[in-house]
Amino acid sequence: MKKILTLLSSITLVSASTASVVACGNGNKNTDIVIQANPASLDVYQKAAAAVNAKFEEAGVKFRAKIKESHMYENYVQISNKGVRDKSIPDVFIVDAFKYQLYKDQNNILNVSDLVKKYLLQTSDDEEHFGLKKTDSGIEITQGVPSARAWKAARINSGAEEYFGVVPSAIETISMMFDNNKFGITDDGHFTGSVLENEAVKAAVGENPIASLENMAIINEAMGYKPTGYLKALKGYFVAAAFNAMVKKHDADINPVEGSAKATIWQKTGEFPSQNYKDFDSLWENEKTKDDAKLVMDMMVRLGYSFGKPMRNALYNQVGDEAIDNATVASLRDGTTSMAALEIFNLQSYASFMKQADPKADIRVKDISSLKFDNSEGSPSLSSSAGGHGFAIKSTIANVSEKTKDGENLTKAGAAMLAIKELSDPKYSADFSITDGKYSPFKANKEAAVEQFNKTEGYGFYADAANEIAKGYEGVTDMPNTALDQASGTTWDTYRLAMNTSKNDTEWKAMADQFWTQFTDKWAKDKAEFIWG
């Protein structure tokens, strides 16, 4: 085995034309390793595929990486509709972190533990790069945050069995992007910028206001109910950052059973994973935490109100996100919004829109943990959920193998892992970040990306983003890993419906009380009626 590993890792790509990315090579479909690629980063995948195909060719095997342009969400739908055995499902695909356990339970993804040891960790340099070490008993996670947390998430719960379901490809936190000239966040956690010179704002928040959700809402109100600062108060991924602040605050009060994550929802009794709804607890049900959960919901309503009625109309009672996304773009383009929470893949477009409002905008990025929840003493910082993605190999990948020039055996699954290893090379990390908002958890990849960003004029905010995501990942909160939340999105379906059915044409406090009652009532009903499996 050492011969093939040395050969495949030492060959360098002379020309991208050495092997065709999309060609079937020898015509045998079983030797095509089909890799799903998000359209935005298609060119990056093509380069990596050409590189690994050159290595396969030199090794004398017929395996070839073949890129399938398909967004990961389209792939989820295909897996759901057709099952992973269907030939249309790629051999290698991207999976969201919150789907790891679900896909393992559904037997959609391969246990790649042995492949990681055999192909990903070929040398001591590999071990350092990936933050792992091979041991007699398995795999030890060695590198610090964020790599360690990403690998911890990839080590899927499977009882005593070691089960790595993915190779982490990206980490994700919510970021705050802003024009520092107008409305920014200082390193010591205060708001700054020309917005604070407005007399009404100055009267409302005073000098040197704390960077908090509460002050963001107050500033919006003082600016005439306009979304000067914006966070999508109806979308679960963003709202979770505020709930997570309370998870951190109540760390000692949340006591899940072994296997269940310390999160907004947890399993409190019974053997994990339970299918008895009485075994579960949540931030909004537990006697020690529910008052603070109510504060979160109140804050989301107040924040939504602070955007003004036109933005509220686009936010509430909509079937999808098109109306609010269009309103957000318009608000960035005309300069109304100077600070916005975003999913990092929107960084390039949001920055472009902000530059349209002011070509001299000083665009900066900070992690959402730079915001406190409110202005109270000891208020917790917001905390992203431990988001990210990983490269998975489908569980039904063809059981075929090839002999190398040296007579070594290489399985298709092994070849797929070598393709994943190529895609994880630091030389692609900057391009993945720019094209598709994917920021690697590995230290060498982050450093390579930051170096390239800092060398490129106008790309400094990408370097900010890479550093802030890595920094912010130290304080992320685990996602709920119970079937109650994971399989159906129960929490955020309930949240959105309750928010939408509350009257939003009255004073915000009245709507907040309506929202809390409707949410908790509906949650209790949905929880009791949840269909397991």
Per-residue pLDDT of the chain (533 residues; tens, 9 = 90+): 433 444 444 433 333 333 334 434 444 458 999 999 999 999 999 999 999 999 999 999 999 999 999 999 999 999 999 999 999 999 999 999 888 988 998 999 999 999 999 999 999 999 999 999 999 888 999 988 899 999 998 998 766 678 999 999 999 999 999 999 999 999 999 999 999 999 999 999 999 999 999 999 999 999 999 999 999 988 888 999 999 999 999 999 999 998 888 999 999 999 988 989 999 999 999 999 999 999 999 999 999 999 999 998 888 888 788 999 999 999 999 999 999 999 998 999 999 999 999 999 999 999 999 999 999 999 999 999 888 999 999 999 999 999 999 899 999 999 999 999 999 999 999 999 999 999 999 999 999 999 999 999 999 999 999 999 999 998 899 888 777 765 446 787 888 888 887 776 678 999 999 999 999 999 999 888 887 75
Beta carbons within 10 angstroms of residue 532's beta carbon: 11
**β-bridge pairing 174-179 and 387-393:** unpaired
d(CA 331, CA 348) in angstroms, rounded, equals: 16
One-letter amino acid for residue 422 of the chain: E
Of 116, 121, 115, 122, the closest CA to residue 6 belongs to: 122
| Sheet strands (E) in 150-241 | 167-172, 174-179, 184-185, 191-192, 229-230
d(CA 210, CA 425) in angstroms, rounded, equals: 40
Residue 480 is given by DSSP the state P
Residue 287: CB partners within 8 Å, gap ≥ 6?
none
Q: Contact 450/459 with Cβ under 8 angstroms?
A: no
The CATH architecture of the domain made up of 2-172+387-451 is: 3-Layer(aba) Sandwich (3.40)
Beta carbons within 10 angstroms of residue 524's beta carbon: 14
Place of tokens 């304080």: 475
> CATH 3.40.190.10 occupies which residues in the chain?
2-172+387-451
| Sheet strands (E) in 378-473 | 387-393, 401-403, 409-411
Beta carbons within 10 angstroms of residue 368's beta carbon: 26
246 is written with which tokens?
A: 């309370």
The pTM score is: 0.86
523 is written with which tokens?
A: 């949650």
pLDDT for 331 equals 98
Of 431, 470, 450, the closest CA to residue 37 belongs to: 431
Residue 21: exposure state from Cβ atoms within 10 A (0-12, 13-18, ≥19): buried
Residue 17: exposure state from Cβ atoms within 10 A (0-12, 13-18, ≥19): exposed
